[in-house]
Amino acid sequence: MSEKNKKQSRREFLKKGAAFGAVSVLAGTGLSSSVLQAETSTEKLALLKDHSICIECYACRVACQNENGFPDIARTIEFESLEMGNYPDVEYHRARMSCFHCNDAPCIDVCPVDAIEKGYGELNITDIETCIGCEECVAACPFDVPQVVDEEMYKCNGCTHLVEKDEDPACVSTCPTYTLDFGTQREMAEQAEERIQELEAEGKEGYLYGLEAQDGLGLLMITTIEPDHFSLV
Ligand code: SF4
Ligand code: SF4
Ligand code: SF4
């Protein structure tokens, strides 16, 4: 499916409110017609995760492992899930915990063999061949996301091998409820603000996380409670 058609599918899905009644209309969201225009490779790229429609099915993690050849034990996508309230009025809230592609990335600063570097669209990528498994990055990451398995460090690399070809990352194209999108950080922030306005119009809460932490992140999130409830910085 072309990128344009995929975006159209997401719009149609949200218009139908199919995500377990969690959403209504995502009208006029200004979804980018192309995920990556040639000139945007110099702009910071970002994933956008909309937790108001995530069902925590982990299809994203499986797609990530398959696409990138990561071992099953490497959980490149985790969720921090919070249960709020008392029975029967219990609400569940979650935040995706995977590499946030920090602008100010301590993992890059501490790696003794320069195995992590800024790549296409300022996505922070790991060279597994160079990694010596010392776990310095594990200790330095404020989000606790790098995982060392058999002396190799695994984390989200932003599927740069796909985005360089103008394709969406595997987790984005796999999510059955279209909770993920990908584009420039600026586009994703604009899209998030519009979505939050929709949620508020429906009497729901929505918060944008990621523009300020670590000097700006390459994984923005719409959370359904204030982000400081989670183990975020
Ligand atoms: S962007 Fe690619 S590497 Fe990162 S979590 Fe999604 S599928 Fe995995
Ligand atoms: S989230 Fe952690 S692993 Fe990812 S870029 Fe930031 S410091 Fe590095
Ligand atoms: S585990 Fe690998 S990527 Fe992390 S700091 Fe050590 S050598 Fe660098």
- Domain regions of the chain by residue span: 42-229
Determine the pLDDT at residue 162.
97
20 pLDDT exceeds 50? Answer: no
Predicted TM-score (pTM) of this structure: 0.86
pLDDT at 38 over 50: no
pLDDT in tens, 195-214: 999 999 999 999 999 999 99
User: What contacts 24+ positions apart, CB below 8 Å, involve 13-22?
Assistant: 13/177, 13/178, 14/53, 14/178, 18/177, 19/53, 19/55, 19/177, 19/178, 19/179, 20/55, 22/52, 22/53
Residue 8 has pLDDT above 80, yes or no: no
Q: Determine if ligand 3 sits within 6 Å of the CB of residue 113.
A: yes
Q: Ligand 2, atom 4: nearest CA belongs to which residue? A: 99
Q: What percent of the chain has pLDDT over 70?
A: 82
Å from CA of 143 to ligand 2 middle: 7
Mean pLDDT over all residues of the chain? 87
Nearest CA to ligand 3 atom 8: 111
Q: Out of 3.40.50.10440, 3.40.50.170, 3.30.70.20, 3.40.718.10, which CATH number does the structure's domain 42-229 have?
A: 3.30.70.20
Cα 179 to middle of ligand 3, angstroms: 31
Strand ranges, E, within the chain: 45-50, 78-84, 91-97, 116-118, 124-126, 147-149, 152-154, 180-184, 207-209, 219-223
The finding on whether 68 has its CB within 6 A of some atom of ligand 1 is yes
The confidence score (pLDDT) of residue 12 equals 56
pLDDT at 42: 73
Mutation choice for ligand 3 from 99, 109, 113, CB with most ligand atoms inside 8 A: 113
